[in-house]
Amino acid sequence: MQDRLVFALRAAGAALAATLFLTGCEEIVYRDREPFSQPLDASSGFLGYYTPTTRQTNCGNCHAEKQAEWLGTKHANAWTDLQASGHAQDFCNSCHTTNEAGNLVAVAAGFSAVQDSVYYDVQCESCHGPGVNHLAGPETNQLLASIAVDTGITNGCGECHTGAHDPFVDEWVQSPHGYASSYVAEGVRDPCANCHEGRRALGVTFAGMDPRLSALVAVKGTYLEANDPIDAEHVQPITCAVCHDPHSASKEGQLRREVGEAELTQLCVSCHRREGAPEPSHAGRRGPHAAQGLIVIDEEAGWKPSGWPYTERLLPTHSINERGCAACHVTPFTINDASGNFVKNYTGHLFAAIPCIDQATGEPIRNGTCSLDQRYFGGCTVSGCHGSAEAARTAFEVLEARMDYLTDQLWADTDGDAVMETTDRGLLPKVLAQAVAANNLNALNLYDTSVTDAERSIWNAQLAASDNRLYWFSFKIQGQNSCNPVSTSSSDKCPGTLRSNTGHRSSGGGVHNPFFLEALLTETIKAIQAKYAVAPDRPVDLTVHAAPPRGVRTASR
Ligand code: HEC
Ligand code: HEC
Ligand code: HEC
Ligand code: HEC
Ligand code: HEC
Ligand code: HEC
Ligand code: HEC
Ligand code: HEC
């Protein structure tokens, strides 16, 4: 600790020397300054700028690296941009200067108290709070910022990123990453918390810390909530600071990681990648979990039957888009009234790709159910992918129908009871009939530890299935009652309403990687036919309709 302080003070000295050097051509009067100035608003203790003209913060005199990073963010331009807009008014200042907004101070302070250029822009203290006591003892008065956000609380990013123009927090609270998350319980479980809890995601998934809960609790001191215990009461959702770097704009959108690259380390894929392929030996009861990212980048996604004809990853043209997942899932637009007057912005922070639109207000609804013609497809046109929202909607319909046709070849739940029966249509019911006749259910036994090709084909169907075929995500197999419908013990009771097999939707209706998903299904259908000597009732179209990724090569068989 002593070392760091000495280093910090030396850094402050260096900053001063640089100032002298830069002004070296002019006549200068050398004045020995403290590495920090006294607060103009003495009652709150906000220090603000050391040198307003160069945007040198007092904090940055010691925290030189943070200062340099922050200078590249828009927060450092908040005042200039406000003035340049030509619409500056007093009430705008609350979010474009350093004051009580964004931190724990609850009274008018900083620029709200003393209107001086030392308090222009969204400086360090906007988020960290007033620094004067920190300087008196950096070790004990740590000046930690909060990563917590919510509507109606008076600190955190949401205090400024709110309202009709910037309703980021207002949307986020309703999003699956905010308080609409229904699985807060996973936030205290290991390893679930690595993706389901904000602090753990920051520490383990993004900073590569030791994944054991005990170790994480020991790493304290970089933000307020890091010092809280990991328990149900203190669970943090995926807050703004989990995805966004508060200090650095080195990545597009001030994000922590690139959002466009086709890699496992991509921002969204960092979490949307839990389980994409069936394990070699495991009960086949659980299907894909957060496989969306793996499908998009064709990594660890699906069972590739022997004879898989492609030698390289199959990347969708979509993923090459530089905005990656955000191109479809973070699609801001403006909502106007019938006469074209501004009502409010939508920032895209519901994270829905094609949200239902409230037909009365024009606002997107989280988790709405509606027909396709009431969904917003404008996101598909923004990046120039589709000529019009109408064209995108049609393309979506065609693709979904193709996914439905192909998954139906494996199993169509003809009587709609979400139980795979020998009387249902498709190849798997035929495999089941063979197994029943042979009095050996192994081929489709979801409870033994061997994984068969028939079971692997279920996995692939779950990866590709659309919302029109929800039975794939929760079904059981005729005659298999290894779970006990009336049990209350967690070990043998049936999940949900008597279903045995569960998986999460992951194909986005096929959109996440049309060519890959179609190839996966057609190859799977061929493999099942060959392996079990079963044939479809009618001829099946097994060509891949989607446009192939550029330069894709087929291995010769
Ligand atoms: C005089 C030099 C100096 C100035 C000016 C200064 N700090 Fe610090 N700061 C330090 C030192 C040294 C530490 C490390 C103390 C320790 O190791 O516990 C520290 C620690 C911190 C921490 C705790 C996290 C960490 O890395 O240990 C935060 C947050 C922080 N400072 C923010 C600020 C902010 C915001 C300002 C401006 C209001 C500021 N500091 C101004 C020297 C300074
Ligand atoms: C004191 C108010 C305030 C607080 C607190 C605040 N912001 Fe901002 N933020 C702004 C303003 C104002 C701008 C726009 C500055 C400009 O463009 O001139 C902005 C811009 C941004 C941008 C860049 C937007 C763009 O168009 O490139 C991001 C990202 C951002 N903020 C994220 C955050 C995050 C994350 C937090 C919390 C850790 C946060 N902000 C806290 C006021 C604030
Ligand atoms: C409630 C807080 C708040 C208030 C009040 C506020 N702003 Fe902002 N302003 C923001 C935030 C947050 C951003 C960044 C939003 C983003 O990047 O999408 C921003 C961004 C801006 C930008 C930058 C846009 C760009 O990227 O070029 C301008 C200009 C601006 N505001 C002008 C104004 C004006 C004019 C007013 C008053 C009429 C005002 N703001 C009032 C929070 C606020
Ligand atoms: C938009 C809000 C915001 C602004 C502006 C901001 N910080 Fe932070 N800062 C945070 C948050 C949130 C954290 C905790 C999350 C993290 O580490 O990224 C943090 C963490 C820190 C830490 C400890 C962790 C680390 O990375 O070393 C230091 C030190 C720090 N900030 C200093 C500064 C300084 C100095 C400035 C100004 C040059 C500044 N911050 C500007 C929000 C902000
Ligand atoms: C799950 C990750 C995630 C979370 C959580 C999140 N964002 Fe974002 N945010 C994004 C992505 C992705 C973009 C789009 C970046 C781009 O267009 O390149 C974005 C864009 C933004 C922008 C505009 C940046 C720009 O360059 O136009 C602002 C401002 C912003 N977010 C603020 C917030 C705030 C405030 C919160 C919390 C209330 C928040 N975000 C939560 C992922 C996230
Ligand atoms: C820190 C981990 C993490 C990151 C990063 C992340 N997500 Fe998520 N996401 C989750 C979790 C966990 C859930 C499920 C929340 C719940 O329902 O409990 C989720 C849910 C979702 C959902 C809703 C799924 C459904 O079935 O309705 C969408 C859509 C989504 N995320 C998109 C994105 C996008 C796009 C990005 C990148 C901009 C992203 N996520 C980044 C963890 C993350
Ligand atoms: C590698 C990251 C990761 C890990 C680890 C992880 N999950 Fe998830 N989980 C996600 C993401 C992302 C989603 C949202 C997308 C989806 O549903 O496929 C999700 C969704 C869920 C959902 C469905 C939420 C909903 O709203 O429908 C449940 C339940 C769930 N996870 C439970 C767990 C449990 C229990 C564990 C630990 C045994 C766990 N998860 C571990 C990333 C993860
Ligand atoms: C080309 C547009 C597009 C891209 C790129 C995209 N998605 Fe999607 N995503 C969709 C569509 C369309 C849906 C279906 C939405 C619905 O049915 O409401 C969807 C659905 C989802 C869901 C909900 C579960 C499901 O499969 O229906 C999650 C989670 C998700 N996407 C995450 C991601 C992640 C993570 C990425 C990047 C790795 C990504 N998406 C890239 C369009 C896209």
Which ligand 4 atom lies nearest to the CA of residue 73? 5
Looking at per-residue confidence, does 319 or 309 come out higher? 309
Whole-number Å distance, alpha carbon 203 to ligand 4 midpoint, is 15
Q: Across the chain, what does the average pLDDT equal?
A: 87
CA-CA distance, 62 to 15, in Å (whole number)? Answer: 8
Task: Output the six-digit token pair for 310.
Answer: 């492609």
CA-CA distance, 68 to 79, in Å (whole number)? Answer: 18
From the CA of 70, the nearest ligand is 4
Task: Output the six-digit token pair for 541.
Answer: 């179209």
pLDDT for 374 equals 95
Amino acid at 376: Y
Task: Output the six-digit token pair for 260.
Answer: 């466009």
CA-CA distance, 227 to 222, in Å (whole number)? Answer: 9
| Per-residue pLDDT at 511 exceeds 80 | yes
pLDDT one-digit tens code per residue, 365-381: 987 789 999 999 998 88
Whole-number Å distance, alpha carbon 291 to ligand 1 midpoint, is 40
| Per-residue pLDDT at 498 exceeds 80 | no
The 8 Å CB, 24+ separation contacts for 495-502 are: 499/418, 499/474, 499/475, 500/285, 500/446, 500/447, 500/475, 500/476, 501/284, 501/285, 501/286, 501/287, 501/446, 501/458, 501/474, 501/475, 501/476, 501/477, 502/285, 502/286, 502/287, 502/473, 502/474
pLDDT for 34 equals 73
8 Å CB contact between 419 and 477: yes
Contacts of 169 (CB under 8 A, 6+ apart): 149, 150, 151, 157, 158, 161, 162, 240
pLDDT bracket for residue 230 (50, 70, 90): confident
8 Å CB contact between 310 and 519: yes
CA-CA distance, 286 to 501, in Å (whole number)? Answer: 6
| Residue 256 near ligand 8, beta carbon < 6 Å | no
Which ligand 7 atom lies nearest to the CA of residue 272? 12
8 Å CB contact between 419 and 474: no
pLDDT for 9 equals 41
Residues in the chain: 557
pLDDT for 492 equals 55
Task: Output the six-digit token pair for 453.
Answer: 């090709």
From the CA of 226, the nearest ligand is 4
pLDDT one-digit tens code per residue, 268-294: 999 999 999 998 766 567 899 999 999
pLDDT bracket for residue 224 (50, 70, 90): very high
| Residue 161 near ligand 3, beta carbon < 6 Å | yes
